[in-house]
Amino acid sequence: MFFKKRKECPYCGVQINGFIACLECLKDLKKLANEKSGKTKHCSSFTAPFLYKDIVRDAILNFKFHEKTEYCKSFCYFMSSFNFSYYDILVYVPKFEKEFNSSKEIAKVLTKKINVKFCKDGLKKIKPTKSQHSCKFKDRFFNLKDAFKGEPKRLHGKNVLICDDVITTSSTVEEAAKAAKKAGAKSVGAISFAASEKLF
């Protein structure tokens, strides 16, 4: 006899019938909703449906460090609520091939929901760096400096949307956007599941 795999709420772990969240967590998520946007020198706009705190933070960390790829469906359900009709292609923050890439996993699901073409090789990571999570806050602004390279054949003349799992300092988004612009991107924006409240 085969048993259907049970699904868990990405935010508290209880068993649920759907893939979004349990009713209690949906209530808590409303309190963490974010409707603001930010920007950097090279990224004209970045936003996220939630603030990076409490159950949202716990879900992201669980996703990243335990490779809970099934959480992507819930994350992308909320991320797809924004209007992305302006963008031509969707890229993600790159890592080296052997590393689990949480941003790539989200992007693969998100592209199907927002009808923006997925570009898997638009950005590449060209030098090793420490994980942003392991760096002190002030060091995160320099850790990824010039770590990415954009592919002109993919990005030139395009309105590019960068997907990341979380934006905490905006340094990753800035470096990725800078690489995309250097490769000829017409404009660059970014979306993540969560972002630090300090950025808005």
Residue-level pLDDT at 116: 97
Q: Is residue 6 part of a domain?
A: no
Residue-level pLDDT at 3: 45
The CATH number that applies at residue 69 is: 3.40.50
Residue-level pLDDT at 2: 43
Q: Is residue 72 part of a domain?
A: yes
Residue-level pLDDT at 66: 95
Q: Is residue 73 part of a domain?
A: yes
Q: Is residue 193 part of a domain?
A: yes
Element (H, E) at 109: helix 102-114
Give the residue numbers spanning the domain of 44.
33-199
Element (H, E) at 188: strand 187-195
- 145 to each of 45, 137, 140, 185, how far by Cα in Å? 20, 15, 9, 19
Q: Is residue 141 part of a domain?
A: yes
- Write out residues in the chain with pLDDT < 50, as ranges: 1-3
Q: Is residue 182 part of a domain?
A: yes
Residue-level pLDDT at 133: 63
Please state the domain count of the chain: 1
Q: Is residue 9 part of a domain?
A: no
Residue-level pLDDT at 138: 55
Residue-level pLDDT at 127: 80
Q: Is residue 77 part of a domain?
A: yes
